[in-house]
Amino acid sequence: MLKCKTNLKDFILGIFKNFHHQVLMNIFKASRLDSLYRRFRSSEFAFGTTLATVVGIAAGLGAVAFRWLIEFFHTFFFEGGADVLSFLGQYYVILLPVAGGLIIGPLIYFTRASETRGHGVPEVMEAVAAKGGRIRARVAAIKTLASSICIGSGGSVGREGPIVQIGSTIGSILGQRLNLSQEWIKTLVACGAAGGISATFNAPIAGVFFAHEVILGRILTRHFGFVVITSVIASVIAHAFLGNLQSFSIPAYTLNSYWEIPLYFVLGASCALIGVLFIRALYKTEDIFDAFKIPMYVKPALGGIGIGLIGFYNPFLFGVGYDGVEQALLGQIGLITLIALLLLKILATSLTLGSGGSGGIFAPSLFMGAMFGGAFGDIANRLLPNIAAPSGAYALVGMAAVFSAAARAPITAIIILFEMTRDYAIILPLMLAVVVSTLIAYRLSPENIYTIKLSRRGVSVRSREEVDLLEKVTVREVMTKDFPTVPAEMTFAEIADKFAKSKHHGFPVVDKNNRLKGMITLADVESKMGSKSRELTVADIATTILIKAYPDESLHDVVQNLGAKEVGRIPVVDRKDPSRLVGVLRRYDIVKAYVKAISKLPKV
């Protein structure tokens, strides 16, 4: 009996020892994994490359799946609709966008994914500018479904905007799941956007610049390489599944004569007008639909009626419209038809997006540019047959010029057309027309087609994070109150003595009624040192033409007003009474506020 108990005791102790050993081994392994992970995180190159690769693969696969879904729904609506609605004959196509709208409206409304309405890019820009790059996970799934149904049922929108939003959401979710800093999350959002454009157009360079020029609004030099990696990988993935992704056939381009250059200048200026017209038509249509007192989820179907009627006139106006673009590039569309397609495309796209549909503005912009450029080239050939190139050349340049006029993305527009043509001969007229269209469009409408949507919501998008930080701080928050002043009648000897005993290098000058009269600095006093200085007063040497600040003004605006001026302190005055001094804003105060704001940003 004793032996049995002893054996049982040894057995139990043995189990405990083995269990204890396994626990220790697991802890040891966990600590080693944790140590390896920390070492991995400490290497920015390894960590960033891995994340960029993951986002590139996901964005590439997302673009492929999105393309397949569009093809599926196009077949479902147009071929299936032809069977179900055969009693309507050829008129059945009028009802297809209505049917798509009846699905899209409730889908977006009842899933509470309002970000998926419209063209998507402004929502990504808002996430970067105001939300630290954070995008909700459901956005990618709902956007994929809503946009593919919209395009497949004939909605006059593009697939580029949705895939940018889908790719950006993938990057954002990855960053959020790993609890990364805002800087890293924004980088991954940019990676996703670059991957989306790259996979859609087989244009990896344009994808990189679109992400920086449009989404971030600046070149993110520290993580630029990671965006490039994502763009390249997404393009490779899409090419592996879809083959050569050339959207349309591009005719060989030749510059017939250098006298054509003025023609491209005029083309660029004209495309600016088309781009601005498109912006205004789109948001005017949106305002009209917003004014309708009907449920939000019904409005896409209402817009679908107009889209169906327009598409019935010409099927090129349904969906992305790349077949029509190719016909314009080949010079196979007549002048009157080109003009009609241009105007109807503006209307169809405005109806689709203004009513609450889901899709991008990239493809419609290219379509409008091709139609307008083709019409311009047709007229140029009639007037100057020995100088002008075939109309397809002007259609090609017009595509980039209209897009850039609408989006204010000249670098992206130039590079994406260059990647599509692989022809350096087109670079000169392309660059000229795009830059001219962008500059003129900016003068006509400071907001582009993306930022105007955000400004209507009260969201300001700036191109630099530093500006954002200073914009959030007012002068009142950082100015020095009760700053010492000096009277205007103080003698030179007294002010020199005050500077010698004071740590300050400048003082506001006030009169007997304590009203601001100027500023005096140590440099002012030193410049007047001499035998006649005893006769001077502060009023004689003070600076009376001042740069002033107001308590409710942002530090960003103050810094902008200062420019490169060597000013160490600025008087802060009452906005209603500029002679009443309320404080002094020193250079030290601005630097201190900026450093404090920087220190509050989360680290990687």
β-bridge pairing 516-521 and 581-586: unpaired
Letter for the amino acid at 475? V
CB distance 54 to 172 below 8 Å? no
Q: What is the mean pLDDT of residues 287-312?
A: 94
For 8-35, the pLDDT digits (tens) are 455 544 544 554 445 444 544 445 555 5
Distance CA 582, CA 591 (A): 20
What secondary structure, in 3-state letters, does 457-485 show? CCCCCCCCHHHHHHHCCEHHHHCECCCCC
- When the candidates are 3.40.50.720, 3.20.20.210, 2.40.170.20, 3.10.580.10, the CATH number that belongs to 468-599 is 3.10.580.10
Q: What is the mean pLDDT of the chain?
A: 85
Please give the full DSSP string across 173-223, using - where no structure is assigned.
Answer: HHHHHTT--HHHHHHHHHHHHHHHHHHHHT-HHHHHHHIIIIIISS--GGG
CB distance 541 to 520 below 8 Å? yes
Distance CA 71, CA 68 (A): 5
pLDDT band at 263 (very low <50, low <70, confident <90, very high): very high
pLDDT surpassing 70 at residue 459: yes
pLDDT surpassing 50 at residue 488: yes
Letter for the amino acid at 152? G
Distance CA 22, CA 34 (A): 18
Q: Which of 553, 542, 552 is nearest to 489 (CA)?
A: 542
What is the structure's pLDDT at 340? 96
Q: Residue 135 has which token pair?
A: 């995008």
CB distance 206 to 407 below 8 Å? no
pLDDT surpassing 80 at residue 561: no
CB distance 351 to 285 below 8 Å? yes
CATH node for 42-242 = 1.10.3080.10
What is the structure's pLDDT at 467? 46
CB distance 562 to 589 below 8 Å? no
- Angle, CA of 114, 289 and 445, to the nearest 5°: 85
**What pTM, to 2 d.p., does this model score?**
0.73
For the domain made up of 260-464, give the CATH fold: Clc chloride channel (1.10.3080)
What is the structure's pLDDT at 441? 96
Q: What is the mean pLDDT of residues 312-340?
A: 93
Q: Residue 369 has which token pair?
A: 């540019």
> Which residues are 506's β-sheet partners?
521
Distance CA 596, CA 590 (A): 10
Q: DSSP label at 568?
A: S
For 111-121, the pLDDT digits (tens) are 988 888 888 88
What is the structure's pLDDT at 120? 83
Q: What is the mean pLDDT of residues 460-468?
A: 51
Q: CA-based Rg of the chain, rounded to a whole angstrom?
A: 32
Distance CA 283, CA 265 (A): 28
pLDDT surpassing 70 at residue 76: yes
Most confident stretch, 433-437, 466-470, 510-514: 433-437
Query: Among residues of the chain, what percentage have pLDDT more than 70?
Result: 86
Q: Which of 569, 278, 297, 295 is nearest to 448 (CA)?
A: 278
Q: Residue 578 has which token pair?
A: 């500029």
Q: Where in the chain is the domain with CATH 3.10.580.10?
A: 468-599
Q: Which residue has the tokens 């994340």?
A: 51
Q: Where in the chain is the domain with CATH 1.10.3080.10?
A: 42-242, 260-464
Q: What is the mean pLDDT of residues 189-211?
A: 90
Query: Among residues of the chain, what percentage have pLDDT more than 90?
Result: 43
What is the structure's pLDDT at 40? 57
CB distance 318 to 154 below 8 Å? yes
Distance CA 13, CA 408 (A): 75
Q: What is the mean pLDDT of residues 45-68?
A: 91
Letter for the amino acid at 241? F
What is the structure's pLDDT at 23? 46
CB distance 340 to 272 below 8 Å? no
Surface-to-core class of residue 207, CB atoms within 10 Å of its CB (0-12 exposed, 13-18 middle, 19+ buried): buried
pLDDT surpassing 70 at residue 365: yes
Q: Which of 572, 546, 581, 275 is nearest to 437 (CA)?
A: 275
Letter for the amino acid at 87? F
What is the structure's pLDDT at 464? 42
Q: Which of 294, 259, 283, 401 is nearest to 349 (CA)?
A: 283
Q: What is the mean pLDDT of residues 345-355?
A: 96
**Where is average pLDDT lowest: 103-107, 386-390, 589-593?**
589-593
pLDDT surpassing 50 at residue 3: no
**Where is average pLDDT lowest: 167-181, 440-454, 503-517, 523-537?**
523-537
CB distance 216 to 171 below 8 Å? no
173 phi and psi angles, rounded to 5 deg = -65, -40
Q: DSSP label at 339?
A: H
What is the structure's pLDDT at 5? 45
Letter for the amino acid at 429? P
Q: Which residue has the higher pLDDT, 244 or 25?
A: 244
For 509-542, the pLDDT digits (tens) are 998 888 898 988 888 888 888 767 777 888 888 8
What is the structure's pLDDT at 604? 41
